[in-house]
Amino acid sequence: MYIVIIGAGRIGMGLARSQLATGQEVFLLDNDPARVEMLRTIFGSIARLGDGTNVTNLREAGVARAGLFIAATGNDAVNLASCQLARQVFNVPSTVAVVLDPENATLFESLGVDDVVSLTDLAMTRLASTVPAHPVVRLMPLAGRHREMVAIKIPAGAAVVNRMLSEIVLPYGSSVILIIGPTGQTEELRPETVLGAEDELIVVTPVEGTQALWETLTEMP
């Protein structure tokens, strides 16, 4: 798929890197000359200087043939305007906007942005997960809200503690995508990776499997 990303800060650049690694075709547009120069040394010609709210710049970025358009600048207003242009002028089938101000999240969805990622809400959710209780923290809806990304922290004494990933039977369709240890370090994901108390698992799961997933990971022996 051809993905155009507006704003190549930490988020835009990280996203570009991950999508390129999975074989997607990516284009980065950013309005900071120094940053674009740096990007070109890393990514080559797929990065270009330009304004995401300018139709000509968007056309030159090939937005007309993009399957996915992601606006990830640090400016909510720019992210909205560029997503609206991508949708209205170039008929991009799917647009995503990053927002800093949570009040813009629902507004942007009502204004036609397909998916809005609220950084502040994500941070709040993450912070909520640092409290001693072990609830399911719903990080993000996925696949038209049929699936979701959740975070579950494993309590001390749970049945899964000291077990290998390959030994744990998760609900059908669930997959662990990240394990974050109690001090914040990420664990390598291998079948023989051993789970520890207070490890936090980031899991993508069908929404109907979330409850069973939580039970599996927090159940006491």
Partner 1 sequence: MGSGRIGARVASSLATDGHDVSVIEPSRTQVMNLPRTLVDSGAIRLVVGDGSSAEAMLEAGIEDADVFLALSGDDALNGLAAQKAKTVFRTRRVVCRVKDEGLRELYTSLGITVTSPTALVADVILQTVPDIP
Give me the residues that bind partner 1 (CB under 8 A), please: 53-56, 75-78, 80-81, 84-85, 88-89, 101, 103-104, 107, 110-111
Amino acid, single-letter form, for residue 133: A
Under 8 Å CB-to-CB from 208, ≥6 apart: which residues? Answer: none
- Distance from the first to the final alpha carbon of the chain: 45
Residue (22 or 110) nearer to partner 1, CB: 110
Residue (109 or 208) nearer to partner 1, CB: 109
Distances (CA, A) of 179 to 169, 182, 188: 16, 10, 8
Q: How far apart are CA 199 and CA 118, in angstroms?
A: 25
Shortest distance, position 123 Cβ to partner 1, whole Å? 18
Shortest distance, position 86 Cβ to partner 1, whole Å? 10
Tokens of 81: 């305007």
Shortest distance, position 205 Cβ to partner 1, whole Å? 34
Residue (4 or 195) nearer to partner 1, CB: 4
Q: How far apart are CA 82 and CA 217, in angstroms?
A: 41
Shortest distance, position 87 Cβ to partner 1, whole Å? 9
Cα torsion 98, 103, 109, 113: sign? negative
Residue (84 or 205) nearer to partner 1, CB: 84
Shortest distance, position 77 Cβ to partner 1, whole Å? 4
Residue (52 or 209) nearer to partner 1, CB: 52
Tokens of 32: 């900071």
